[in-house]
Amino acid sequence: MPLHWTSALDALDWEELSALYRAAPLGDKSPQGLKTAFTHSMFRFLVYEDGALVGAGRALADGIDCAYICDIAVLPSHQGTGLGRELVSRLVEASRGHRKIILYAVPGKEAFYEKLGFARMNTAMAIFQNQAQAVERGYLQAPREDPAK
Ligand SMILES: CC(C)(COP(=O)(O)OP(=O)(O)OC[C@H]1O[C@@H](n2cnc3c(N)ncnc32)[C@H](O)[C@@H]1OP(=O)(O)O)[C@@H](O)C(=O)NCCC(=O)NCCS
């Protein structure tokens, strides 16, 4: 069955997108939250097979300096078919011209991105809404007792 790629959001069923992320799995993302995130993303791809959403991803970009790729997910039935690679490759292509294209991986998925040309950053840092949970899930190092040192 041929895949249909689009960046258009007008026909997107946000509940279906939310279900895709739950199934992938990539967490519980509310339809309304996804609408906000995808609407504000300069680049995004939605992949359909026979009218059903099978993959999605987006990049938040400022048009010159930085593009941040996130929310890459493929339905389990379609994983391992090259679709994830194609999604990231298209977002990287769309983001060309930006001085840096950044992302962070779900712990354990780093090799997927390394195969696509991403290298580890030495000084990446983040403030998560829930820092303790981010530490627990392996996204952040535990804060140092004396950060000034
Ligand atoms: C991670 C994910 C997007 C990969 O998509 P996919 O369509 O299954 O992957 P592809 O078939 O395009 O694989 C491309 C390459 O990456 C490799 N790869 C795929 N998943 C991998 C993983 N978890 N770890 C290491 N390598 C991986 C494949 O073996 C393949 O390598 P090859 O080109 O040498 O054969 C998909 O499995 C998924 O949606 N997972 C759940 C959600 C998630 O974790 N998203 C990523 C958030 S960081």
The CATH number linked to 17 is 3.40.630.30
Separation of 25 CA from ligand 1 center, angstroms?
Answer: 12
Q: Tell me what the pLDDT averaged over the chain comes to.
A: 97
Give me the mean pLDDT over the 28-51 stretch. Answer: 98
- Using omega within 30 degrees of 0 as the cis cutoff, is the peptide bond preceding 25 cis? yes
Percent of the chain past pLDDT 90, that is, above it, reads: 95
- Does residue 14 sit within a domain? yes
Cα dist. 105→6, 44, 139 in Å? Answer: 24, 18, 8
Burial class of 108 by CB neighbour count within 10 A (0 to 12, 13 to 18, 19+): exposed
List, for residues 80-89, the tens digit of each pLDDT value: 999 999 999 9
Position 75: which residue type? L
pLDDT digits (tens, 9 = 90+) for 95-148: 999 999 999 999 999 999 999 999 999 999 999 999 999 999 999 999 888 877
Q: Where in the sequence is the domain holding 24, given as residue range(s)?
A: 3-119
What is the enclosing helix (H) or strand (E) of 21? helix 14-23
Burial code (b: 16+ CB inside 10 Å, e: under 16) for 31-54 equals eeebeebbeebebbbbbbbeeebb
Rounded Cα distance, 95 and 19, in Å: 27
Q: Please check whether residue 46 lies inside any domain of the structure.
A: yes
Pocket test residue of 83, 106, 109 for ligand 1, highest count of atoms within 8 A of CB: 109
72: pLDDT strictly greater than 80: yes
**What pLDDT is stored for residue 145 in this prediction?**
83
How far is the centre of ligand 1, averaged over its atoms, from the C-alpha of 80 (Å)? 6
Structure pTM? 0.96
For residue 105, the tally of other CB atoms under 10 A from its CB is 15
Structural domains of the chain, count: 1
